[in-house]
A and B are shown apart, each in its own frame.
Chain A
């Protein structure tokens, strides 16, 4: 079953609630009053032009960067300003825009490291399953830094799978990868949804967004400018202007 076929709307209380979130770097307002909800078991797409604040929002939610003000509630816990490892232990996992490899460790060790804190029982079997799911068995003993760019994206995604998280943030996980690798990732996302995982994904590939996501959140200049199903979003004139520019 493809991710698109398995689409269901988020149900019940949202797993992620963000309210009036602000973060600035010097004079730049990277995130400027963002509010959004992500429902349980939902696959939400976060789109917007470069510099619109998407990755900073991920950094704020995952604890990599501390917000200036605002609220972030994840699975009933207030997590704004908490340390990244504490948030991860609550069941949130993420990938980075540029793959964050443990370069000097093997592919298998990279996966096992993701289970080292809190999910160790059966980790070796899960690592083998993840290698099979992502078709990385043939490079299991290779160093992570020796992988191709696409394989590194797969491996980082594999670490997220190993975390058994309830909310996953994917930052351009298919950017610049071969269509075969994109297909593997899309199928893996569908498997995650079947397990009940919620996914928030930053993506520039509109084809993938349309096929995978239940709902789209559009950001521009650090703010959410639109939200809704894909077909509504592409008819939204403000979104079109954000992507294509305003007519002169």
Chain B
């Protein structure tokens, strides 16, 4: 069987299993599956800019949080919007923020861009912590809706759409060629007519609004959010490690890394409770991936990038200011 057909059949099988999952498992495992789908989608959204364009964004949680807060505020007692009406509102607000933040920061590269985006997320944490309308540091509640199947299918739909868009735009269209070209050599990309500033901004906005949709579903799912729970830097950190583990700049890598790390997270939680042990595992995972699995899990199955780790080199090299980003 040709590899392409094998991948296609595997994909169909995965979709069928995921679609039937609510009938196969209890609510506890369904919640874990819902979380895994959310992280797979979030990691993919981070990978759009970090993996395909080579811009390491350490403030991606800002957009997850914006989506969450817009939904929480609009669904509150005063406005009482239906959940699905809040999604486009969150997308519009996030897109506006992404344009305002992206236009100046995307002129920066490497560590400067990473620091600027991290600072943006920190600003939003502080803002949400001191303003009354966001509920301050105490947070904000949403009307409870206790149907686990609804949230599972919402996350499943959002994740499926995220991967479909990523595949169509970054793997199968000339837009993807432009994005990857600017990642690999920005002056050369400009020299073949690519408006790199515009393409970077488009990628940044797409990446941001995708994260905001997951933030919106998350807020409705957990029924209560506060600044730390949706803007916190550890949310971005997890996305970064998931993508590195799965395979930077690959389509399926973020899904593999997202599911793997989230399941590890839940297993640790089951046995040891809410412990900092998970953070230690994240740190160790970064070191091990950089040293021994530079193309991530996905790279082990890819013929073209199997031995090089070049995308990681490019991204980390950019981050630390040129040169190889990884010991040879």
Contact = CB atoms under 8 A, between A and B. Distances in A.
Please determine whether chains A and B interact with each other in the same assembly.
Answer: yes
Contacts of A96: 187-188, 191
Contacts of A66: none
A110 to B, nearest CB: 8
A102 B304 contact: no
A11 to B, nearest CB: 27
Contact of A145 (B192, B193, B310): B310
A168 to B, nearest CB: 11
A86 B194 CA distance: 8
Interface in B177-204: 177-178, 180-181, 183-185, 187-196
Given A85-B196, A102-B185, A143-B305, A116 B191 contact: no
B192 A117 contact: yes
Interface string B297-328: 00000001100101100100000000000000
Given A85-B196, A116-B177, A143-B305, A100 B183 contact: no
Contacts of B59: none
Interface centre among B191, B196, B305, B311 (most CB of A within 10 A): B191
A104 B180 contact: yes
Contacts of B180: 102, 104-105, 109, 113
Interface residues of B, number: 26
A89 interface: yes
Contacts of A105: 177, 180-181, 184
A33 B149 CA distance: 72
Given A109-B177, A116-B178, A102 B191 contact: no
Nearest to B180: A105
Nearest to B196: A85
A85 B190 contact: yes
Contacts of A143: 304-305, 308, 310
A54 to B, nearest CB: 17
30 contacts: A63-B190, A64-B190, A64-B191, A83-B195, A85-B190, A85-B196, A88-B192, A94-B191, A100-B185, A102-B189, A104-B183, A104-B314, A105-B177, A105-B180, A105-B184, A106-B304, A113-B174, A113-B194, A116-B178, A116-B192, A116-B194, A117-B194, A117-B195, A120-B174, A123-B174, A141-B304, A142-B304, A143-B308, A145-B308, A159-B192
Interface of B: 174-175, 177-178, 180-181, 183-185, 187-196, 249, 304-305, 308, 310-311, 314
